[in-house]
Amino acid sequence: MAPALVELPPQQVLSFTKSGSGEYKEAFNGGPKAFRQDAELQGTEKQPPAKYPNYLPTWNPEKKYPPLELFEHYDHGKDANAAFPNLLKDAKVAEMTANIGMEIEGVQLSKLTEEGKNELALFVAQNKVVAFRNQDFADLHIQDALNIGGYFGRHHIHPTSGGPAGFPQVHLVHRGADDTTSRDFFEERTNSVTWHSDVTYEKQPPGTTFLYLLDGPSAGGDTLFCNQVAAYRRLSPEFRKRLHGLEAVHSAVEQADNSRNRGGVVRREPISSIHPLVRTHPVTGEKALFVNPQFTRRIIGYKKEESDFLLKFLYDHIAKGQDFQARVKWAPGTVVVWDNRVTAHSALLDWEDGQRRHLARITPQAERPYETPFDG
C-alpha cells in the first residue's frame, strides 16, 4: 500500500519550486499570438487547409478552472486478461525495440469492448508505449473520443493549453501553417530535446494517455520515449537503495509563467506537488524513476547542491539511455498510447520548413504516485 507522504508547508514548497535544478524548456505551442485562423481554415500558398478544423485550438482568457480535487482512481488494467484475447485477437504485433514499445496493426481502438479496454490498460503498462496504426480515432466525434479515453481515468484539463471549441479536456499540440517556431527556437537553443512525463506537478498525474495525429509534416516531429522502469533497473542495488524513500517537488510555476510571457492563457493557477523519486505501478508492481527536468525542482531534505547533483545524474541517465528508448514515427491514422507513470518522452522540433503539425491528446489522470517497500 502507499506509504503516508510527508507534506511540507505551502511556503516551503513554493520556495523549492524556485530554487531547484529545473530546466524548463518549451517551444512547441505557438499559443494564441501565433495562431492564424484564416490560414488554418483556408490554407496558404504553401499548405492546404487543416485536415481537422474541428480540432483547431481556441483560447478563452476569461475562463478559469478551480484547483483540482483528489479523486479515487481505479486502474482497469487490474481486471485485464493477461493473454489479451480481446485486444489482440486480430492484431499484427511488432516490437519497436528490445526494451520498450509495440507497433500494432489490425486493431480499431474505437471498437474495443470493455474487456478490450481493460487489456489495453495492462498492455500499455507492460510495454510502456504502443503505436496503433490506421485508426479512425481522429474521425470520431470529439465527445466519442473523450468517452473512450475517459474509461481510463478522470479527464485532465491542461492549465495552459488551448482546446477545440467546447472540449477543454482535449490538449492540443498545434503548430500552424507557415509556423516559424523552429527558426526562432534554434536561435537560442542547440537542440529541442525536453524529456518529461506529462503534468507531473499534479497531485494525480496522468496514467494511460492517448495522443493522435491530425496533421503532420512529411518527415520529422517524431516523439521519443524512455522506459523509466528499465532506467530504474539499470541502476545498482546500492544506488536504488539510496533513492528509496526520497521525494521531490514538482512545479507548474515555470510552465504558467512561460504561457503568460507568450500571451497565452493560464486556466488554473499553478501548483506544486511532492512525489516519490521512484514510483510503483499499481497493476504491474514495477518500479520506475519519476523525475524529469521540466517539472521536478528539488529533492526534499537535500541542500540545493546535493539535490542538483543527484537530479542531474538521473536526468543524464534517462537522456543517454538510448538502449531503453524508442523513437515513434507518426503517420496519418496513428494513435500512440503510453503509460505516463512509467515513461518519459520528448517532442522533436526537427523540421524547419513551416509545415503544420497538429495532434490531440486525451489525458486521463491516475492515482497519486506512491512507492512500495524496497525489495533489493
Whether residue 361 lies in the annotated active site = yes
Does 198 participate in binding Fe ion (rule CB under 5 A)? yes
Contact criterion met (CB below 8 Å) for 156 and 340: no
Q: Looking at 74-82, 150-158, 192-200, 203-211, which segment touches Fe ion (CB under 5 A)?
A: 192-200
Interaction mask 297-336, Fe ion, x per CB under 5 A: ----------------------------------------
Compare residues 198 and 367 and give the one whose CB is closer to Fe ion: 198
Catalytic residue among 198, 215, 356, 357: 198
Kindly tell me the burial class for residue 235, based on how many C-beta atoms sit within 10 Å of its own C-beta (0-12, 13-18, 19 or more). middle
Distance CA 123, CA 92 (A): 14
The residue (of 198 and 215) whose beta carbon lies closer to Fe ion is: 198
Task: Give least dist CB 346 to Fe ion, A.
Answer: 8
Q: Which is nearer to Fe ion, 26 or 115 (CB)?
A: 26
Smallest distance, Å, CB 356 to Fe ion? 19
From the list 156, 112, 154, 114, the residue with the least C-alpha distance to 136 is 112
We find the least distance from the C-beta atom of residue 34 to Fe ion, in angstroms, to be: 19
254 scored as a contact of Fe ion (CB under 5 A): no
Residues 276 and 290: their CA atoms lie apart, in Å, by 7
Cell numbers describing residue 204: 494525480
Can you name the residues that pair with 172 across neighbouring β-strands?
360
Q: Least CB distance from residue 324 to Fe ion, whole Å?
A: 18
Q: Which entry of 267, 279, 281, 345 is annotated as an active-site residue? A: 345
Say which residue the cell 481522429 belongs to: 138
Stretch of residues binding Fe ion (CB under 5 A), selected from 19-27, 158-166, 190-198, 247-255 = 190-198
Q: Which amino acid is at 311?
A: L
Look up residue 60 and give its three cell numbers: 478563452
Handedness of CA 27, 129, 199, 342 (dihedral sign): negative
Beta-bridge partner residues of 79: none
**Total site size for Fe ion, rule CB under 5 A:** 1
The single residue of 174, 196, 297, 341 carrying the catalytic annotation is 196
Look up 196 and say whether it is catalytic: yes
Closest residue to Fe ion, based on beta-carbon distance? 198
Q: Which of 155, 275, 341, 361 is catalytic?
A: 361
Nearer to Fe ion, 197 or 307 (CB): 197
| Alpha-carbon 104 to chain mean position | 20
279 classed as catalytic: no
Residue 353: CB partners within 8 Å, gap ≥ 6?
Answer: 217
Q: Which is nearer to Fe ion, 240 or 267 (CB)?
A: 267
For CA atoms 200, 201, 204, 210, the dihedral sign is negative
Residue 339 contacts Fe ion per CB under 5 A: no
User: CB of 295: closest distance to Fe ion in angstroms?
Assistant: 10
Supply the minimum distance, in Å, between the C-beta of residue 353 and Fe ion: 23
Shortest Å distance, C-beta 345 to Fe ion: 6
- Is residue 298 part of the annotated active site? The answer reads no
Q: Do residues 211 and 335 lie in contact, with contact meaning Cβ atoms separated by under 8 Å?
A: yes
Closest by alpha carbon to 217, among 354, 68, 12? 354
Minimum CB distance to Fe ion smaller for 84 or for 195: 195
Position of cell 481486471?
79
Stretch that binds Fe ion, among 184-192, 194-202, 241-249, 351-359 (CB under 5 A): 194-202
Which CB, 198 or 247, lies closer to Fe ion?
Answer: 198
Asked if 195 and 56 count as a contact pair (C-beta separation under 8 A), the reply is no
Burial environment of residue 223 by CB neighbours within 10 A (0 to 12, 13 to 18, 19 or more): buried
Instruction: Cite the active site residues.
Output: 196, 198, 345, 361
Chain residues that interact with Fe ion, rule: CB under 5 A: 198
